[in-house]
Homo-oligomer: A and B are copies of this chain.
Amino acid sequence: MTITIIGMGLIGGSLCKAIKTKTSYTCYGVNRNPAVLEAALRDKAIDKGFSLGERLPISDVYIVCFHPRATIDYIEARAQEFAPGSLVLDVCGVKAGIVQAAEKALLPHNVRFLGTHPMAGREFSGYDYSLPTLYDGASIVLTPTAHSQQKDVDLVKHLADGLGFGRIVVTEPEEHDRIIAFTSQMAHVVANAYVKTPMLERHGGFTGGSFQDMTRVARLNADMWTELFLMNRKPLLDEINNIILHLGEYRDALANGDENRLHDLLKDGSDRKIQSLEPEDH
């Protein structure tokens, strides 16, 4: 099988390295920057490199590894270049908008599409930070639609397994987006809001693990997350409104000096967290 990775930043570069390290598939790389292609050839992360302007090579699977808007733009602009009968994947953190646009662009050309979201990342971006082990043990979500074929889901499951993913979840694009608003997007909103206080400058020496954990993802790629948030407005708005509501409950209990209420609120949150722990979290 031949796989072409289009866009070789942290996510795409790590896919190249994982493919060449852990499987026997042929891997082509497509990137705008020739220095990245050279580095990837030197790293034996790709078998052959192509510039972004060149015609796409013939391949069984293409994985487009751009940010959301660029992913849609690329697929729409180059739809007729993917090999007929091939399968195209994306790696974006939102799915409904991407899947809809990609299927519309590709299906008329006899090219199939399957949305995927590999749940791994780092606070850094670019090929230089990519790792063959980035996906080890991570989750990947596949979001087939009524247009998808079971053989493609099976193929991507097999590929994900070979690349080291620890958990493969199959769900609808809309369900993915609702859950991801909570598990990922909100974590970035909250961490990013958390550091906006004059106290931040005075925190040196006053932090244990809880502060570092709470604010780690405050450092983010504003371009990418703005795109992700705007493509998932309704679910994310629901979650932001929800946490504002709940924070107000602690605020009111504290303002009223209502010890029992405050205790109940904290106990409820703690109990929910404990109940939600998966076996591997314990």
Chain A residues proximal to chain B, CB less than 8 Å: 119-121, 138-139, 141, 167, 169, 175-176, 178-184, 186-197, 199-223, 225-226, 229-230, 233, 236-237, 239-244, 246-251, 254-255, 257, 259, 262-263, 265-270, 272-274, 276-278, 281
What residues of chain B lie closer than 8 Å to A266, measured between beta carbons?
188, 192, 220, 222, 225-226
Contact between A182 and B205 (Cβ–Cβ < 8 Å)?
A: no
A247–B240 Cα distance when bound, in Å, is: 7
16 of the cross-chain contacts (CB-CB < 8 Å) are A139-B206, A169-B204, A183-B203, A184-B211, A191-B214, A197-B239, A213-B214, A214-B217, A219-B270, A219-B274, A222-B266, A226-B266, A236-B254, A240-B250, A243-B247, A244-B247
Contact between B139 and A243 (Cβ–Cβ < 8 Å)?
A: no
Q: Is the interface of A mostly helix, strand, loop or mixed?
A: helix
Copy tally for this chain in the complex stands at: 2
Residue from B179, B205, B229, B281 in contact with A212 in the complex, judged by beta carbons closer than 8 Å? B281
A192–B197 Cα distance when bound, in Å, is: 20
Contact between B196 and A183 (Cβ–Cβ < 8 Å)?
A: no
Residue from B119, B210, B226, B276 in contact with A263 in the complex, judged by beta carbons closer than 8 Å? B226
What residues of chain B lie closer than 8 Å to A248, measured between beta carbons?
244
A139–B223 Cα distance when bound, in Å, is: 35
Task: Tell me, rounded to whole Å, the shortest Cβ–Cβ distance linking A204 to chain B.
Answer: 6
A146–B258 Cα distance when bound, in Å, is: 33
Contact between A194 and B230 (Cβ–Cβ < 8 Å)?
A: no
